[in-house]
Amino acid sequence: MSAALSVQPQEAPLLPTKLRNARALWVVLVIMALLAGCALLFARGSMRLSTDWQSQLSDTLTVQLILENTNDWAPQTSTASIALANALPGADIEVVNQSAARDLLRPWLGNTVLPDNLPVPALINITGKELSAERVRATLDDIGLTSNIDDNSRYADQLRGTVRRLVAIGIGTLSLVLLAGLCVNIFATRASMTAQKEIIRVLVQVGASDKFIAKLFIGQAFRRGAIGASIGLGLAGLLWLLLSIMGDWGGLGWSGLGAGFKDLLWLIGLGAVFAVICAGAAGLTATRQLAFERKRL
């Protein structure tokens, strides 16, 4: 008898942590966190890829030398290469050979055999840091060569527009997933309050305030959201890592430790936001439901 009396009572949470038929809710939360993580990583990868592409475009110029006859190709490209090398120290000057320049016309002319005396413009690719199209044009003008210079600004503008749309898709998907998470937690909180109405009734009878009861559901939803986010976002990070290793994703994936570390920090922040949204939805729902029930009494 004394042994039975000496057993200390064990503390237990006011709200049970394990609910009946809660497995489906966990699955939904994990899948939503996974989708949210993939949408965030896609948006981050698109911005990173845009930065890499724009950097490459800004470091490249394409020069067209307008020739009067095909015999001028070799001497004029040689003269232009020497002049550009002197004007742009450290830059990489690459002359596209005649056959390759003619092949570039095939998308517009098809497989038509071009006459040998057709003066196809000579092409020179320049790669380097802080290139100036005006400086290149002035250099070629000084040696009496007519040229057209493409600084890739048109492609850069198109690229920026495409990337903006890709990022908008990623952010829009992420917003929709978070909104769905809000709705799911509202429904889950209402179902939980219905299942635990006896406990709520006892708490009300002993004098617990609505604020105190709502905090119980807020804590429950926060823990549920944090655990679901940890699992789902962890799976998203693992999936992105596998795709980066196994597939040729370029800047869209993780090409280095720096990109992966920054994205993981963003995933951690997203997990915190996900848990807060779950808690906020539960708090708002519990407060309104309790107020409604008190009006009925």
Could you report the per-residue pLDDT of 66-105, keeping only the tens digit for each?
A: 777 777 777 888 888 888 888 878 778 888 877 776 666 6
- If asked whether residues 117 and 251 sit together in one domain, one would say no
- If asked whether residues 131 and 169 sit together in one domain, one would say no
Question: What is the separation, in whole angstroms, between the first and last Cα of the chain?
Answer: 45
Residue with token string 């307008």: 66
Task: Report d(CA 272, CA 278) in Å as an integer.
Answer: 10
- If asked whether residues 48 and 171 sit together in one domain, one would say yes
How much is the pTM?
A: 0.67
- If asked whether residues 44 and 169 sit together in one domain, one would say yes
Residue 15 lies in a domain: no
In tens, the pLDDT along 174-227 reads 899 888 888 888 888 877 777 767 777 777 677 777 788 788 888 888 888 899
- If asked whether residues 126 and 202 sit together in one domain, one would say no
Residue with token string 């002035």: 138
Residues counted in the chain: 297
E strand segments, the chain: 60-65, 92-96, 122-127, 147-150
Task: Report d(CA 249, CA 102) in Å as an integer.
Answer: 32
* Mean pLDDT (whole number) for 5-24: 54
Give 2's pLDDT tier (boundaries 50, 70, 90): very low
Residue with token string 């105190």: 212
Residue 264 lies in a domain: yes
Q: Which of 180, 166, 145 is nearest to 274 (CA)?
A: 180
In tens, the pLDDT along 110-124 reads 566 666 666 677 788
Mean pLDDT taken over the chain: 77
Task: Report d(CA 126, CA 122) in Å as an integer.
Answer: 13
In sequence order, what are the beta bridge partners of 241? none
Q: Which residue, of 118, 145, 172, is where some domain finishes?
A: 145
- If asked whether residues 217 and 277 sit together in one domain, one would say yes
Residue 223 lies in a domain: yes
Task: Report d(CA 29, CA 282) in Å as an integer.
Answer: 14
Residue 147 has pLDDT above 80, yes or no: no
Residue 59 lies in a domain: no
Q: Which residue, of 94, 113, 145, is where some domain finishes?
A: 145
Q: 18: which DSSP letter?
A: S
Which tokens sit at 295? 């009006």
Q: 130: which DSSP letter?
A: S
Instruction: Count Cα atoms within 13 angstroms, Cβ side, for 18.
Output: 1
Q: Which residue, of 145, 175, 209, is where some domain finishes?
A: 145
Residue with the bigger pLDDT between 159 and 230: it is 230
What is the domain range of residue 88?
67-145
Residue 159 lies in a domain: no
In tens, the pLDDT along 40-53 reads 988 888 888 777 77
Give 5's pLDDT tier (boundaries 50, 70, 90): very low
Residue with token string 């896609």: 42
Residue 217 lies in a domain: yes
Residue 169 has pLDDT above 80, yes or no: yes
pLDDT of residue 118: 65
In sequence order, what are the beta bridge partners of 107? none
Task: Report d(CA 188, CA 285) in Å as an integer.
Answer: 10
Residue 241 lies in a domain: yes
Task: Report d(CA 216, CA 29) in Å as an integer.
Answer: 20
